Amino acid sequence: MKNKILVAALALAAAGTTSAAVLDIEYTQTLGTEITMVTDGAVSEDYLSGGMQYKALSGASFEAFCVEIGQSYALAGVQSYTVGSFGAVQSRQLQGLFSTSYGLLSSDQDRAAFQTAVWEITHEQDSQLDASQGSYQFAFLNANSTAEEDAAFLNKVNGFLSAADGYQGPAKYQLSKLQHIDYQDLVTVTAVPEPGTYAMLLAGLSLVGFVARRRQRAR
């Protein structure tokens, strides 16, 4: 996944150099599970929730999460997205969510819960993050799920949200908002290198410079 994120970062950076900041990507699959939710009173049953897998024209693959439910996602073909940004509050909460929990996702249900937390952040109108109430609500997993399974899923979502809202550490990821007029907008991230990585890079560049000077003197 780290290699995929790194390649995706290069793709996004390249896209940012164009005048329109356009990224051409193609949806491949979603890793997650179906849930039932309520948004502004409208019920969405058996809605596939999870990490959406995409690939860029360069062949780089990456994961993204939906930030709006009202539109459908692009199921087939290459689509052109523009690179945008989030407002201050959503940026803080999404950064907290990714920084605290994204690296811990290990199952389809984890990714579904993480996506549900993203929807709570991007659709809730008040300041309280709780997926059981408000404009956006998680209802239940499916018609066959038990009350205990539904409660466990909701607790996982709210655990993600609580950690996100309380996070005050450094930004571990660079957020990117991918926007499309006809399809769902997305959020994807690229890892921010740790200070130690920068130090190693600088040390490596210094060593290269030292070796180059030695070779010039030898001549």
**Nearest one of 164, 174, 121, 153 to 11, comparing CA atoms:** 174
Interhelix angle 88-101/147-166, nearest 10 degrees = 110
**Half-sphere exposure for 208 (CA within 13 Å, toward CB):** 6
**Model pLDDT, residue 205:** 46
**Model pLDDT, residue 54:** 96
**Model pLDDT, residue 7:** 43
b/e burial code for range 34-43 (CB count within 10 A of at least 16 → b): ebbbebeeee
b/e burial code for range 137-155 (CB count within 10 A of at least 16 → b): bbebbeeebeeeebeebbe
- What DSSP character marks residue 40? T
**Model pLDDT, residue 217:** 56
**Nearest one of 58, 81, 95, 109 to 190, comparing CA atoms:** 95
**Model pLDDT, residue 216:** 52
**Model pLDDT, residue 122:** 96
**Model pLDDT, residue 163:** 98
Q: List the Cα angle 37/43/49 in 5-degree steps.
A: 35
pLDDT tens sequence for the chain (219 residues): 444 443 444 345 444 444 558 999 999 999 999 999 999 999 999 999 999 999 998 889 999 999 999 888 877 899 999 999 999 999 999 999 999 999 999 999 999 999 999 999 999 976 689 999 999 999 999 999 999 999 999 999 999 999 999 999 999 999 999 999 999 999 999 999 865 543 444 444 454 444 444 555 555
| Residue 26, number of CB atoms within 10 A of its CB | 16
- Map tokens 């201050």 to a residue: 88
DSSP-derived 3-state class of residue 17:
coil
Side chain identity, residue 34: E
Please state the pTM of the whole predicted model. Answer: 0.82
**Model pLDDT, residue 36:** 98
**Model pLDDT, residue 200:** 44
Q: Quote the distance between the C-alpha of residue 92 and its chain's center.
A: 13
